Structure 1
């Protein structure tokens, strides 16, 4: 049996929406998606983008990031997080992680903010690993105290909640979503930024289409350019497909939690394996991350031989050649991220995964674990 790390199956509604585009139906799928997404999240404004990375990049534009500004992020994030910062010739600052959630360590973040109050700090980008959040109330208080903007990277947190409210509606300046996130490539690409700030979103909307302004009462081809933007536009086909995904997301999360519970029950107490320890019952398990106490890579290779694909979230940013050399970073600069990276492994988990496939993964993990000394 071969168990993919992630698998997508298009719904009937997705096919119908895409057919509407191909048939030339006069439906603005992007506008419909933005309206439906804002309502789903509970945010005032939503702006669709071509990809999750472009959502992060547009967020930096909307915040008017400039050369020499500093943006703080977790050392455990996808490379697109510091990448969008560097595109502005601004400086990413890395913070070590919490050993239990793998999210940014708020104690270390607060210590950094306290020690660097007057050093061009612009924003903090917080990545929600596996969809699980940090203490957002504390994070937002810190943002007020130290006068920094909060951008949440919700690539793995679509539909996730914090104290009952969906991520994207809880108080960040901007939240960015990715509909085809790391290691979970879909048949379409797309991203979204949401905010309750009219000022931020008006700037994002302007800059998402080359900084062009048009007079609605004039001819379509008459425009002016009032700022330097880019083209972040989502296609009608992508929007049509994603609209169906959003309608299914809450039901999908229910199924994913069922699978996570199967893993939890079967893998608890297995030698050499540590299962996730959620900090609340709101953990959406967008990723199911276990720890292997020794030889993680050989463990993963054995699973691969049995057809089980796994992932890692993430390779710490200070391990990557560009950031290691650019900022003279040492492997031991972030000890928690180092130890965690050597052990973590993300298992297959997705809504269409069948119980027999889940059981197959469980059986193979137990089998490989039994050979470890």
Structure 2
């Protein structure tokens, strides 16, 4: 019998904690503090402690977390920022919004993270920062990135929007660079019920500057020392996220369990399953496979009630808006190949073994039929 398996089921997670969520909402409403205030401060401290950082600054979304971080670090017109083309558009978008130039580096074919061996030759006198993206929940190679940053006096802005809870050699992601940026978009491992984001750092002065930037560049109120933004984490979101944070490690553990079940069940098929480095904790924001028959497989899954997703169909260096940067087809071959072959299978902590078994059976049926044709 055909089932209906979503890529992610947000309602199911809410149902499991709805009484706590509703209580947290009424706590905010009863408090009368609807902009920043104690609920945001509480979450900021909890996230800082969770990540092993000294400071956390709540902002309106993950994109703003990246944007304000770059701005606070003085990145501006003509500066160059090195990053990956295989990520969500916001990673490069924020660089361009400040008048800086994104410099794309191809990815490692196993992890999909930035290929650190290719970074140094692209560093110039204009380079001011590196933005590694811990893509799909697996940390980038921070040792090599931090070594290069130290050698060339560069800032490191960790785009950890997909990777909260992941670890690199025992250290939580977000705490190793100059700043770490997280998104609370509803589909993230720690997702809100709307937009939200946060920045973590160990730099006290940078934290102060970020707090000023998020509130129109003012401190105190109505006294403006810089041009800022209206980018404050909503206390309703903060209160709900505080509830969810205590469940995060358990949810991430379940994501790993499901991912390992997929790996075992699909390992004999002509697909590439996710690769996890031994010295890192992968939190499997998405379960990404590769197939030569990607588009056919997507259609077959859909016809059998299984949702899937493509992350990402066009790498950033080939986006129309960046055509003036001069990247040609073939200039980032690993990213370009991944964009043609990758897809995400359903994965979320509340997924049952039975539902996953159904997805596995549909994937296996697809390839069995391909062999018999």
2:358 to 360, 370, 373: 360
Counterpart residue number, 2:316: 317
Local SS of the residue matching 2:310: coil
CA contact (8 A) 1:161 1:167 kept: yes
Counterpart residue number, 2:43: 33
* Alpha-carbon distance in structure 2 between the residues aligned to 1:25 and 1:257: 40
Any residues of structure 2 matched to 1:73-222 within 5 Å, and which? 73-113=83-123, 116=124, 118=125, 120-169=126-175, 171-180=176-185, 187-214=193-220
Any residues of structure 2 matched to 1:242-281 within 5 Å, and which? 242-270=241-269, 272-280=270-278
In the TM superposition, residue 155 of structure 1 has moved relative to its aligned partner by: 1.1
In the TM superposition, residue 3 of structure 1 has moved relative to its aligned partner by: 1.4
* Alpha-carbon distance in structure 1 between the residues aligned to 2:9 and 2:70: 31
Deviations 1:112-140 (A, max 9, x none): 22xx2x2x111111101121122211211
Deviations 1:211-257 (A, max 9, x none): 1111xxxxxxx631111001111111111111112111011111111
Counterpart residue number, 2:68: 58
Provide TM-score, normalisation by structure 2: 0.92
Structure 1 residue 19 corresponds to structure 2 residue 26: yes
Deviations 1:17-46 (A, max 9, x none): 112123336672111110111111110000
Aligned residue pair count: 358
* Alpha-carbon distance in structure 2 between the residues aligned to 1:198 and 1:187: 30
In the TM superposition, residue 285 of structure 1 has moved relative to its aligned partner by: 1.8
In the TM superposition, residue 327 of structure 1 has moved relative to its aligned partner by: 1.5
Local SS of the residue matching 1:156: coil
In the TM superposition, residue 187 of structure 1 has moved relative to its aligned partner by: 2.5
Provide TM-score, normalisation by structure 1: 0.92
In the TM superposition, residue 186 of structure 1 has moved relative to its aligned partner by: 5.3
CA contact (8 A) 2:133 2:140 kept: no
Counterpart residue number, 1:218: none
Counterpart residue number, 1:46: 56
Gaps of 5+ in 2: none
CA contact (8 A) 2:57 2:211 kept: yes
Structure 1 runs of 4+ aligned residues shifted over 6 Å read: 181-185
Structure 1 residue 348 corresponds to structure 2 residue 346: yes
Counterpart residue number, 2:232: 233
Local SS of the residue matching 1:231: coil
Measured on the aligned residues, the alpha-carbon RMSD in Å equals 1.7
* Alpha-carbon distance in structure 2 between the residues aligned to 1:134 and 1:54: 21
Counterpart residue number, 1:72: 82
CA contact (8 A) 1:21 1:240 kept: yes
In the TM superposition, residue 101 of structure 1 has moved relative to its aligned partner by: 0.4
